[in-house]
Chain A
Amino acid sequence: MSNQSKQYPRFRIGARIEHFILMVTFTVLAVTGLPQMFSLESAVARSMIDLMGGIELVRLIHRWAAFFLVGGSIYHVFTSAYRLYVKRERPRMMLGRQDLTDLIHLVRYNLGLTDEHPKMPKFNFGEKFEYWAVVWGTAIMTITGFMLWNPIATTSVLPGSIIPAALAAHGGEALLAVVSIVIWHMYNVHIKHFNPSIFTGKLPHEQMKEEHALELERLEAGGKPWPEVERPVLERRRRIFIAVSVVASALILTVLVWAFTFEQTAITTIP
């Protein structure tokens, strides 16, 4: 059957770049962050810190990785804006009632209560869950990380006890993110079967059928993977978008660099 070996478009280059930035920065942040969290309890954590060049260097790497993670997140906001405004795509990541029924349906199927596999859309409930977990997690980590990095600026507007609370949240959220990735992401895209679509942009028929049956049906019926906009309309919207985004991104980048460098928390000499 030619259908079986057929590949279906899933991710454009923008999404793949975003995933790559997230993958690298998340890994670096976890590898430099968790050993700091467990440095007192675990000899493994301590030797990791030692291997990476000592605690001061590990903190520096962690902060640079954070800079790129936040940069990547802002890039995501811009690409999303482009899709929503210029391309007028439906926000398909939004959670809906169907996600809940799909979840219950899948569990029933897994337990053998039904023999019918749920038909899921382009982004199924598991992927949406993961997406929003990343959005939520990155927001928490960015805010608490900023507080820990700039405690003097933070305490000039908030009570002092926000700093140890931010430390607790930063560690708790980090652990939550890492265990979720290890259980959920590893199982779904590596163990269950390797899902290459985030690197190749395409998914084979078999996996489409299992995980995105609705999308598969739509594509089979001749639907376009992404909506197409008439050329003159697209050009006009694009011009507006580029004008706005250049100004906005320049501004945001300036604020970002300033936010990452403005505070001199402590003296650099020995007290």
Chain B
Amino acid sequence: MLPTYQRHRTIWLVLLVMVAAIVAGLILLYQANTAAAKADRVQVTAQGAEETDRTAIALASALEEMPAQQTQRGPAAGDDACRLCHGDTDESVVLPSGESFPIQVDVEAVNASVHGDAAEDPLQCTSCHAPAEYQFPHPPVEAETLRDYELSRSQSCEQCHQRPHVTSHPGRDAENPVVCTDCHSAHETHPADAWPEEKGVDNCVECHQEREVDFTDPGRLAQVIENDLFRQSRDNQYCLACHGLTDLSTTLENGDQLDLTVNEDDFHASVHGTDNPWQPLACTDCHEGVTFPHEPIVAESRRDYSLQMYPACSECHEPKYENLQDSVHGQALEEGEEQAAVCTDCHGAHDTPDPDEPRSRISSTCAECHGTIFEEYRESVHGEALLEEDNPDVATCTDCHGVHAITDPGLAAFRNSSPELCGECHADEELMAEYDISTNVFDTYVADFHGTTVTLFEAQDPDVPTNKAVCFDCHGVHDIKHPEDPDAGIKANLLETCRECHPDANENFPDAWTSHYEPSLDHYPLVFLVNWFYRIVIPATVGFLGFIVVTDVYRRARDRFSDRQEE
């Protein structure tokens, strides 16, 4: 007799096998059922007909009425052949899902469509309903649902038309696909700019309103409609007829003269002009809703007009616009500082060049407001290389401060993360190799008292300020010089630099900092030797003590074993 727990285990095992067998049986049964269901698939049936045999009779009689040569197998001989069945009929296809659609095609409408007879390259039925699939008599529709059918048919558009499209609808592989025929329809096809006005809206409304499909990007629909993107007139010449004239200006409320002349060449050469490969802008894209004749500009001052106009940039550049609002400039603006930089101050309005071409353009853009800082930067090791040698790697304003999302450099968060900021370049071996600069600087800083503290603050209390020195406390902020610069380099007067924080420091004190050197026999030999001393003494001690402990454990185990033997 087995012990009780083993008997229980056997019973459980038998039960488990039985359950597994039942599950496997059910799965097999289900698979057999679905296979049978597939066998009697789609059937063509006369509308209103109730039994399948009546359908068979109707089809047979329709076939008998056809001309003899067309009942032969072979490629459909032109559209006429298709229209024999699909031209004037009230039959429909019923899919396994229960949905149905009429097989009739409105021949007139197809002819009037963009693919019709009038088109440069008219399509035939078989252009989309490929002949290999659609011979006569052709196999039945194989889709499970109407949507499956629509999705599979829309593939044929891609033989001629390429994605992506002007909108960002998800493609056929997405979970909720939107395909060509959803908006452009299958047979009565028209391009968007030939849609009657309400159809553009209807198409969108059908999914996003009536079927309540969420927008992936809310507001985009409104924006697309509002911008009239489908039927946009790009005829800037209309505006330039007046604004191309020189010496056109208006006087604003405070007496400011606002220049109204737009230099056509400058505009077209700009990133928004016709010369750019993406999407040239029309005057009315920014100056929305303006037609001729228009109302005069209402603005307190030139600055007021800039502040009125710059939100137009957000129509296309919304993320950057949002960044600006959150930045120091945006905050200053909100606090009433009207001079704080907005888009057009840095990028220009009509003449919008590539903002970083050449690279020195960045610093001269900032210099327009931050002139004193630019003067310091110009003399620095970074500024000299950028402005005199057109160096592509040295830090310029935006590399440290950011571009649109400029934060307040006075914040603790900026201070605490600043070593990492410098490290982005100075710990990059590939980059520094070109200039023969050691990448040890970051690691040696972080390994030291100052750097460790700042690193911990950055990781744990990024918004709490720490007074431990960061890179720029010693090396300078905008006026960073080469460390060995004879006048202003950090090595020339290190003690003074130390005394900024350690006022009582004496001549020996600067040596307490290892100057970014890894200790070696050449630099800081005492530190090097102490490290080696412990590198030997610690394992030696561990080995010695461990040896005695291990022999002791061995003796005790042996004694215990022999005690047991004696028992």
Q: Which residues of A come within 8 Å of B, CB atoms?
A: 36, 39-40, 46, 49-50, 54-56, 103, 106-107, 109-112, 126, 151-152, 155-156, 158-165, 167-169, 171-173, 175-176, 179-180, 183-184, 187, 192, 263-271
Contact = CB atoms under 8 A, between A and B. Distances in A.
A183 B546 contact: yes
Contact of B502 (A39, A49, A164, A266): A266
Contacts of A184: 545, 549
14 contacts: A39-B456, A40-B452, A46-B456, A54-B460, A107-B551, A110-B551, A155-B505, A160-B508, A161-B526, A176-B534, A183-B542, A184-B545, A184-B549, A266-B467
Nearest to B451: A40
Given A110-B554, A266-B501, A271 B473 contact: yes
A91 B134 CA distance: 111
Contacts of B456: 39, 46, 49, 54-55
A155 B502 CA distance: 12
Interface string B541-567: 110011111011011101000000000
B554 A164 contact: no
Interface of B: 415, 446-447, 449, 452-453, 455-457, 459-461, 465-467, 469, 473, 500-506, 508-514, 519, 524, 526-527, 530-531, 533-535, 537-538, 541-542, 545-549, 551-552, 554-556, 558
A105 to B, nearest CB: 12
A187 B554 contact: no
B510 A160 contact: yes
B530 A165 contact: yes
Given A112-B558, A269-B467, A187 B549 contact: yes
B298 to A, nearest CB: 47
Contact of A172 (B415, B506, B533): B533
Given A169-B534, A270-B466, 7 more contacts: A46-B456, A54-B460, A111-B551, A160-B508, A168-B519, A168-B534, A267-B501
A39 B452 contact: yes
A60 to B, nearest CB: 13
A36 B452 contact: yes
Given A40-B452, A159-B511, A270-B415, A172 B530 contact: yes
A39 B454 CA distance: 12
Contacts of A172: 530-531, 533-535, 537-538
B534 A152 contact: no
Contacts of B446: 40
A192 B548 CA distance: 12
Contacts of A180: 541, 545
Given A151-B512, A173-B534, A271 B467 contact: yes
Contact of A155 (B512, B555, B558): B512
A164 B524 contact: yes
Contacts of A164: 512-514, 519, 524, 526-527
Contacts of A54: 456, 460-461
B539 to A, nearest CB: 9
Given A176-B538, A183-B546, A271 B469 contact: yes
Given A151-B512, A162-B526, A270-B415, A264 B555 contact: no
B181 to A, nearest CB: 55
B531 A50 contact: no
A263 B509 CA distance: 14
Contacts of A159: 508, 511
Contacts of A163: 511-512
B455 A40 contact: yes
A55 B453 contact: yes
A243 B514 CA distance: 48
Contacts of A268: 467
B453 A160 contact: no
Contact of A267 (B460, B503, B552): B503
B554 A111 contact: yes
A151 B526 CA distance: 16
Contact of B509 (A39, A111, A155, A173): A155
A155 B415 CA distance: 29
Nearest to A174: B534
Given A40-B455, A55-B456, A269-B467, A160 B548 contact: no
Nearest to A175: B538
Nearest to A269: B467
Contact of A183 (B459, B508, B549): B549
A111 B459 CA distance: 52
Contacts of B449: 167
6 smallest beta-carbon distances between A and B, as pairs? A160-B511, A172-B534, A110-B551, A163-B512, A155-B508, A110-B555
A50 B545 contact: no
A107 B537 contact: no
